[in-house]
Chains A and B, each alone.
Chain A
Amino acid sequence: MEKLREIAGELLKSNDVKVVIGYTKGMNNKVTPFFAKKQEDIAKLICGNSCAQNLAVYLYKKDISDLGKPAIVANIHTLRGIMRLAVEKQIDKKEMIILAIDNAGDIQKLDNLSDLENYLSSVIPQLNEEDQQMLDELNRMTPGERMVFWKQEMKKCIKCYACRQACPLCYCTRCTVEENQPQWIPVASSVVGNLEWHMMRAMHLSGRCVECGQCGKVCPVNIPIHLLPVRIAQEMKTLYGTSTGISLSEKCDMSTFKPDDKENFIG
């Protein structure tokens, strides 16, 4: 924590960085995103295992970009989010400093994307135990049982789009689900429409999702919605052997064709 505050303080002092995107303790002791802009804000910055949110989502938000060059406190989810956003040319030209924090709490200052690529080359992405257990359970089900499970969950969905808004890779400013001329997917929240919306979202994230689980964490009615994109991410790994948010040279698997691509899923 001290080291983080020290580095963040120096960055702000040098006037090179205008805002440090990180975490603080909010009301009721909850960890919440925080934007340190002045020296007196620095003491409020915190880090640790409870700082789990993927902050990469803030890198392309207008209100925050308007503040000037950022430094961003980055756990593994945020790091992969940044990398993937750069690969997809959303923030590849953005000037920023990345303060990478590993599980042991060690901090490394990364000045550019190739530093980030280096840092990530030694990281093996791993799903947390709880998510893996839930996925195993879903995998054990028959397709029919899985349909029942998801339909039950879809009944609860209120289409608040918190999952989409909190996801760093859901950066489209116009989403198909809100289009009504023509209407692709029912805008109103109903079981079938909700299922269509979440399948559409999961498919759009295939080969892009960085498995941070943020979309599921934020759902106000506790739908483990991240299991859809995360499950597809695992499928992509099995099919094409690729991971996301790790290297600058990775592609978008779903829109890349190679003559030796496996085609065994075509019936």
Chain B
Amino acid sequence: MDERKRDIQGVGLSLLNRFAGSEVVDKLGLRKPAEKALYQASKASFGAASMARRRFKSVSQRLRPERMERAGDGGDLFDLTPSDEQAMMQEAARRFAEEVLRPAAHDAEAHAEPSKDVWSAAHELGLAMMAVPEALGGAGAERSAVTSGLVAEQLGWGDPGQACALLAPVGVAHALACWGDAAQQDRYLRAFAEDTPPDAALALLEPAAAFDAAHPGCRAERQGNNWIVTGEKALVPLGPFADLLIVGADCEGLGPRLLLVETRDERVLQTPEPGMGLRAASLGRVQLHGVVLGDDAVLGDADSYAQAIDLARLAWCSLAVGCAQAVLDLVGPYVTERQAFGEPIAYRQGVAFTVADMAIEVDAMRLMTWRALARHDAGLEFHREAVLAHRYCAEHAMQLGSDGVQMLGGHGFVTEYPVERWYRDLRALGIMEGGLLA
């Protein structure tokens, strides 16, 4: 392709554009209120580094970390029936998605975060509690990535943006429960069982094209007994105000590791980074300017890092399965009602076959994701299955999102229906690394 350089006309246009984007325009009240709210929200968060962040306190001197048993796989049979407990969680998450997330989705997107009511309803649902072992004040009895996935699927059906915000701290709790040592669990994991759990997220993605999560650009250099961490993390859920982050960094002499970073540190700069979709998730950019950490900040080992990538992807797959199902659930009735050329558009194969493909692919995505998650719970290798599920969901979830808009035509493109939002949300698949953890 020809490279085109900016000419004099371009310079003029650029100036004009800068003027149009200036605050003057806002002052004149030319922008739509929602846009303005967003702008102001981001303005406020810019100064956030100086705002009070949560302090984490170590309470007791525990000797050993609390580990929950993996849920297992119930034996030898191929089976697609959730356990009774899983079915209950699924049902509860479904009702929450229907009654809380769906009605709030539009406003949460406009305000770039879930409302207080949604947060407290989610708390009642006990999402974070379930991730904390009983001995640390939580309600978690066993570790099941399948259960996490089933819940994420339902929340994704409700609204992927809010789901992402609500599930980000849960993912951090899972990571601490799986890989934290006694001191780390004591200091951080307990907090997730409290009335107001910390805002927290797993920060792996970086702002680079063709980013490879297995090779983070963020670096931790050894200095005496300390690690000096420098780098930048992108599209972190709750990023502008998270209290606690698990950051992926290449540790000198060790390789990639997960590092616990308290954002009270003034060398952590958190800013909003709104994207194409998932706007309710308060996505943010996090810069680490020489953050000093001790060895006690290192969470788990090389294997934990690799598993975190896979489990994060599987959480995204689950979210996408739910969202894709939502698209199908909306498109089906729409095409049987919508009339064109004297009959419902569903009577035409061009439409009906598209819907058939959507139905096939959403089921396939679900089965692929379930398989990987269930292998995790059974203590089997699940990297291959996670890679394949992720590859598959990235491809087909986006196609589904695109077909969803297509089946509604112009009505799909305007914000009257949520399909355009789902289209934008689903593009996150294949891009997001970290953020969540199943």
Q: Do A and B come from one complex?
A: no
Binding site for A on B (CB under 8 A): none
Binding site for B on A (CB under 8 A): none
